């Protein structure tokens, strides 16, 4: 008998039929003799629809009210799922994030988990019932509800798996596991059987939305084994385990584990920056004061304008206005001349632990992009990743070509069971 945490994403519970299918899966696990704690996302595209609705009301919804609105999505799915499980003769009780004991800080819309006090959930398990917890939400010290950021139900699941010392955290979604690329973009993507936390972190941080970044960080920190799999099939999915367990695997695996693409970033170029010590630090202090999340940075010294440089960096699109406003407010103090923005850029990343011991990965990547006639804007690297900024409209084509060039193409087409990819 094991304690299993099962998380079902929005595409798995998109309608009544989906909820019943998921309920059957939960009942099956319970009847096999396991203790089951379920984390559920809002149905289908409910969260997007609620955000659209709020934006129809006002361009500036207060963050606290926005979180009250968004947590409603998961309240609906948790209640309906508990009803469906009970209907199958298995006792189940639904809990909001707050009832389940998920405490967060008070950064509405992007709250961090401070702790989990799962007393109520433990009591539910002890009474032989299934606990069904609303994902993506918690409560702050002011007793107000908060949300963990888009895709945050994965993080709720891993947090409960850690707090309850679960044997496994199963993440059920609309594809059979983690693939070598997004199967919606690269049909030849192959399913990965086992991955290290490290590789998964890099993929998640660079656009592979199959797992929430903080879920992987949490899993790594607390050693939670994650099994990503489909709720639409019974196929074995992808295991994400600690780095040393899969070291052997990494040695045998291809140099590149996967390709990620990201269309959610924008670029800011600050030009005419005085080329003196401290200028860059003033810029980045200003960005960090408004919580700007910088990923890539490049600095060019201008030949035509000696003594001045251009500093370009990427930020998530939703932070663009706030970051630009903050910089403009400090224009004189920083001493720059102007700001240019690209509202959308494309970022393509190749990730693989094998990169450490293999050279020539960047040469092959750049060669492939050159053969498509693509100009690379910014490049950034980590020990196991190379990312490049490309025109957003060429991202899909580039992802497919790079996937092929690194020998990752599978013989069969990947299956996408549901969801809208929104």
Choosing from 156, 173, 312, 368, the residue that interacts with ligand ADP (CB under 6 A) is 173
**Which DSSP state fits 179?**
B
CA distances from 382 to 38, 182, 201, 350 (A): 35, 21, 12, 10
- Residues 156 and 39: beta-carbon distance below 8 Å: yes
Does 6 help bind ligand ASP (rule: CB under 6 A)?
no
Write down the residue that tokens 């998920």 correspond to.
102
| Binding residues among 397-416 for ligand ADP as defined by CB under 6 A | 416
Interatomic CA distance for residues 325 and 315, integer angstroms: 13
When the beta carbons of 286 and 349 are compared against ligand ADP, the nearer one is 349
Q: Which does 78 bind (CB under 5 to 8 A by kind): ligand ADP, ligand ASP, Mg ion, none?
A: none
Interaction pattern, residues 31-70, with ligand ADP; x per rule: CB under 6 A: ----------x-----------------------------
When the beta carbons of 11 and 155 are compared against ligand ADP, the nearer one is 11
When the beta carbons of 137 and 387 are compared against ligand ASP, the nearer one is 137
Give the H or E element holding residue 57.
helix 46-57
- Residues 314 and 347: beta-carbon distance below 8 Å: yes
In the beta sheet, which residues pair with residue 263?
A: none
Interatomic CA distance for residues 141 and 368, integer angstroms: 52
Does 135 help bind ligand ASP (rule: CB under 6 A)?
yes
Write down the residue that tokens 């203790």 correspond to.
35
| Binding residues among 352-391 for ligand ADP as defined by CB under 6 A | none
Does 138 help bind ligand ASP (rule: CB under 6 A)?
no
Interatomic CA distance for residues 24 and 96, integer angstroms: 22
Interatomic CA distance for residues 159 and 113, integer angstroms: 8
- Residue 136's nearest CA partner among 162, 121, 155 is 155
Give the H or E element holding residue 103.
strand 102-104
- Residues 133 and 40: beta-carbon distance below 8 Å: yes
Does 208 help bind ligand ADP (rule: CB under 6 A)?
yes
Beta strands in 203-307 (DSSP E): 226-230, 238-241, 258-262, 265-274, 297-301
- Residue 345's nearest CA partner among 206, 214, 212 is 206
CB of 57 to ligand ADP, least distance (A): 26
Interatomic CA distance for residues 393 and 343, integer angstroms: 13
In the beta sheet, which residues pair with residue 147?
A: 137
| Binding residues among 256-285 for ligand ADP as defined by CB under 6 A | 258
When the beta carbons of 86 and 196 are compared against ligand ADP, the nearer one is 196
CA distances from 286 to 86, 327, 358 (A): 53, 6, 38
CB of 203 to ligand ASP, least distance (A): 17
| Binding residues among 147-166 for ligand ASP as defined by CB under 6 A | 150-153
When the beta carbons of 77 and 196 are compared against ligand ASP, the nearer one is 77
When the beta carbons of 35 and 199 are compared against ligand ADP, the nearer one is 199
Choosing from 97, 151, 258, 354, the residue that interacts with Mg ion (CB under 5 A) is 151
CB of 125 to ligand ASP, least distance (A): 23
Does 177 help bind Mg ion (rule: CB under 5 A)?
no
CB of 225 to ligand ADP, least distance (A): 18
CB of 42 to ligand ASP, least distance (A): 4
Number of shown-chain residues binding Mg ion (CB under 5 A): 2
| Binding residues among 126-165 for ligand ADP as defined by CB under 6 A | 151
Residues lying near ligand ADP in the complex (CB under 6 A) are found at: 9-12, 41, 151, 173-175, 178-179, 181-184, 203, 208-210, 258, 416, 419, 421
**Residues at the interface with ligand ASP (CB under 6 A):** 9-10, 41-42, 47, 73, 135-136, 150-153
């Amino acid at each position: 008998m094991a304690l299993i945490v099962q998380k079902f994403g929005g595409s798995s519970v998109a309608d009544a039929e989906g909820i019943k299918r998921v309920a059957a899966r939960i009942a099956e696990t319970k009847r096999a003799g396991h203790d089951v704690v379920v984390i559920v996302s809002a149905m289908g595209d409910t969260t997007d629809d609620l955000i659209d609705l709020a934006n129809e009301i006002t361009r500036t919804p207060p963050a606290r009210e926005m979180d009250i609105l968004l947590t409603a999505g998961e309240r609906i799915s948790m209640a309906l799922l508990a009803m469906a499980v009970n209907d199958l003769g298995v006792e189940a009780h639904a809990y909001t994030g707050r009832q389940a004991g998920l405490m967060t800080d008070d950064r509405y819309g992007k709250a961090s988990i401070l702790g989990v006090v799962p007393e109520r959930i433990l009591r539910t398990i002890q009474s032989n019932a299934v606990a069904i917890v609303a994902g993506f939400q918690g409560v702050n010290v002011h007793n107000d509800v908060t949300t963990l950021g888009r895709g945050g139900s994965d993080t709720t699941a891993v947090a409960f798996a850690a707090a309850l010392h679960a044997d496994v955290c199963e993440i059920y979604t609309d594809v059979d596991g983690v693939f070598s690329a997004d199967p919606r973009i690269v049909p030849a993507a192959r399913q990965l059987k086992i991955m290290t936390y490290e590789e998964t972190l890099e993929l998640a941080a660079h656009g592979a939305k199959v797992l929430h970044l903080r879920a992987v960080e949490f899993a790594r920190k607390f050693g939670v084994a994650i099994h990503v799999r489909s709720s639409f099939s019974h196929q074995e999915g992808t295991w994400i385990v600690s780095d040393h367990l899969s070291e052997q695997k990494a040695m045998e695996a291809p140099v590149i584990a996967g390709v990620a693409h990201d269309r959610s970033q924008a670029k800011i170029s600050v030009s005419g920056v005085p080329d003196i010590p401290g200028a860059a630090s003033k810029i980045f202090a200003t960005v960090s004061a408004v919580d700007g999340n910088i990923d890539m940075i490049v600095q060019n010294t201008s030949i035509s304008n000696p003594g001045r440089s251009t500093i370009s960096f990427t930020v998530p699109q939703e932070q663009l206005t706030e970051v630009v406003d903050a910089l403009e407010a400090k224009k004189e103090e920083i001493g720059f001349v102007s700001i240019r923005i690209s509202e959308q850029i494309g970022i393509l990343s190749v990730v693989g632990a094998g990169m450490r011991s293999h050279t020539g990965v960047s040469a092959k990547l750049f060669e492939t992009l050159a053969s498509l006639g693509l100009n690379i804007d910014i490049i950034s690297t980590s020990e196991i990743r190379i990312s490049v900024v490309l025109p957003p409209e060429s991202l899909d084509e580039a992802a497919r070509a790079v996937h092929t060039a690194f020998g990752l193409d599978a013989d069969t087409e990947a299956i996408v069971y549901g969801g809208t990819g929104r």
